[in-house]
A and B are shown apart, each in its own frame.
Chain A
C-alpha cells in the first residue's frame, strides 16, 4: 500500500502539476540499538502542502519528525528537506524549519517574553523580533502573561508560548507533533491561524485525530506500530475507517 506521492494543496488551482518538493524521504530506516523504529519510509511532500502523520504509539511518528527537523540522523535511506540533503547539509535549512514537539523548548526560569526574545536573537531577527513577538503573543492571547516565569504557567499556556516560539522566525516547513496537546478547545482555535496553512508554508503534522487529519491534510502518512508504512498518499485516498484500522480499531 505504500507509495511515494507528491501533490499540492487541494485548493491550489495548479494542483495537477508537480511542484517543488519540501521534504523527501527515500527508504528511511531508523534504529535505536536493536529496536527498529522506522522501516523503509518513502514519501515526498510538496511545498505548500500539509502532510498528516497517523499511527499508534511507538509507530515512529516523533522519530520521523525529528529526522526531518535535523535533530536525528536516519540509520539508512535518503532525506532531503527544502533542497538540502540531511544530515550533511542540515546547516542550510536550520532557521527555515521549525519543530514543535512534546517539549516546548522554553526555559522554565525565564518569562515567556524573555524566552521569545532569546529565540529571536538565535534566529537573528531584526530588533530582537520585538514587533513579531508582540503580534504573536497577542494572537494567542498571552500578552498579559508574557512577563511571568514559564514555570508558573499552566501546560496550556506554555503550549501557546511554544507555538509562538515555533513560528517566530516564519519558517517555511512546520514540523508539528500533536500541536493541540494540552490545549482546551478555545486555545486550540486560537492557535489555528498561527499554525494554519499559508502560501509557501509546508506542514507535517503528527496527530491522533483521524477526522482532523483527513480534513486538513493533502497527504497522509500512516505508520503501523513498529514503524512500517501502512499508507502513504493523498488524503482523499484513505477512508476514515481504514485510518482508524491502523490503530487496531481505535482510537
Chain B
C-alpha cells in the first residue's frame, strides 16, 4: 500500500498545512485534558477576588482598573506559556516535527495561534467577571477588546519564543517569567496607556488611544518578525 508519490518526489507539506495540523492537535489535546484554559480562568477569577478584598474598593476606574485587569491577564498567560511545549518536550513532538519536511516556523505559528485562542477564551470569561466586580459601567469594555487582541498577539509573539527557548532547560518554570516579564514591560505600558482611557470614570475617552495601539502593533510585528527570523535556528540542537 503506497503513501502516494515517492518521498523524494513528494512536495514538502506546506507551512500552512503543518501549522493547521499542529494547531488542531494542540486544541484537541487541550479540549481533552483541560490543562491550560481552566487553570488560567480559575487563576484570573481568584486574583480578582483577592484584588477586590485587598484593595477594599467596590469599583475601580482609569489606571488602577487597567492595571488590575492587565496584570491578571499577563500572569494567567504565564500559566499557558509554561505549558505550551510540555507535550513537545516530554512526548517527542520536537523530534517528530524536525523529522518532517516542514518549516519550524509552522510550529511557532501554531503555538502562537493556540496561545491567542487560549487568551481570547480566558478574556471571554475574565473580562465580564472583572466588569462585574469592579466597573460601574461596562461601556468601556467593547473598545477594550481591540486593546486586548493586540496584547494577546504580543503575549503570543514573545511567549512562544521564550517558552521554546526554555523548554529544554531544567529551570524552565523559572526561566519563562524571568525572561518574559521584562520583555513584556512595553506591552504593559502601551496597553495600560490605552486601557486607562477606555476605563476612565464617567465613560471611555479616546484621547491618545490610537498612539498606544500603534505602539502595541509595532511591538507585536517586531517580535513576530524576530520569531520567524530565528525560529529555525532555535529548534536545531
Contact = CB atoms under 8 A, between A and B. Distances in A.
Co-assembled chains A and B: yes
Interface of A: 69-73, 82, 87, 91, 94-99, 101, 103-110, 114, 118-126, 129, 131-132, 134-136, 168-172
Given A121-B13, A122-B100, A129 B3 contact: yes
B45 interface: no
Nearest to B32: A109
A96 B6 CA distance: 9
B107 to A, nearest CB: 10
A109 B20 CA distance: 18
Interface of B: 1-4, 6-8, 10-14, 17-18, 20-22, 25, 28-29, 32-33, 87, 91-93, 95-102, 236-237
A73 B29 CA distance: 32
Contact of A103 (B29, B32, B92): B92
B1 A131 contact: yes
A138 to B, nearest CB: 9
B29 A109 contact: yes
Contacts of B100: 94-95, 119, 122-123
A121 B3 contact: no
Nearest to A165: B96
Given A70-B98, A107-B93, A122-B18, 16 more contacts: A69-B99, A70-B99, A87-B236, A95-B7, A96-B8, A99-B99, A104-B92, A105-B96, A106-B91, A118-B25, A119-B100, A121-B20, A122-B100, A124-B11, A169-B10, A170-B6
23 contacts: A71-B95, A87-B236, A94-B99, A95-B101, A103-B95, A107-B87, A108-B91, A109-B33, A109-B87, A114-B28, A118-B21, A121-B18, A121-B21, A122-B13, A123-B101, A124-B14, A125-B4, A132-B2, A132-B3, A168-B3, A169-B3, A169-B7, A172-B8
Nearest to B93: A107
Contact of B101 (A94, A114, A118): A94
A91 B4 CA distance: 20
Question: Closest 7 interchain pairs by CB?
Answer: A95-B101, A124-B13, A135-B1, A121-B21, A105-B92, A122-B100, A103-B92
A120 B91 CA distance: 17
B101 A73 contact: no
A107 B1 CA distance: 25
Identify which of B2, B95, B96, B102 gathers the most chain A CB atoms within 10 Å of its CB: B96
Tell me what chain A mostly uses at the interface: helix, strand, loop, or mixed.
loop
Contacts of B13: 121-124
Contacts of A125: 3-4, 10
Contacts of A122: 13, 18, 21-22, 96-97, 100, 102
Nearest to B98: A71
Contact of B91 (A107, A123, A131): A107
A136 to B, nearest CB: 8
A124 B28 contact: no
Identify which of B92, B95, B98, B99 gathers the most chain A CB atoms within 10 Å of its CB: B99
Contacts of B4: 125-126
Contacts of A136: 1
B29 A121 contact: no
Nearest to A94: B101
Contacts of A119: 96, 100
A170 B236 CA distance: 24
A141 to B, nearest CB: 16
B145 to A, nearest CB: 32
A251 to B, nearest CB: 27
Contacts of A101: 95
Contacts of B10: 95, 123-125, 169
Contacts of B98: 70-71, 94
B1 A132 contact: yes
A230 to B, nearest CB: 27
A120 B50 CA distance: 48
Contacts of A170: 2-3, 6-7
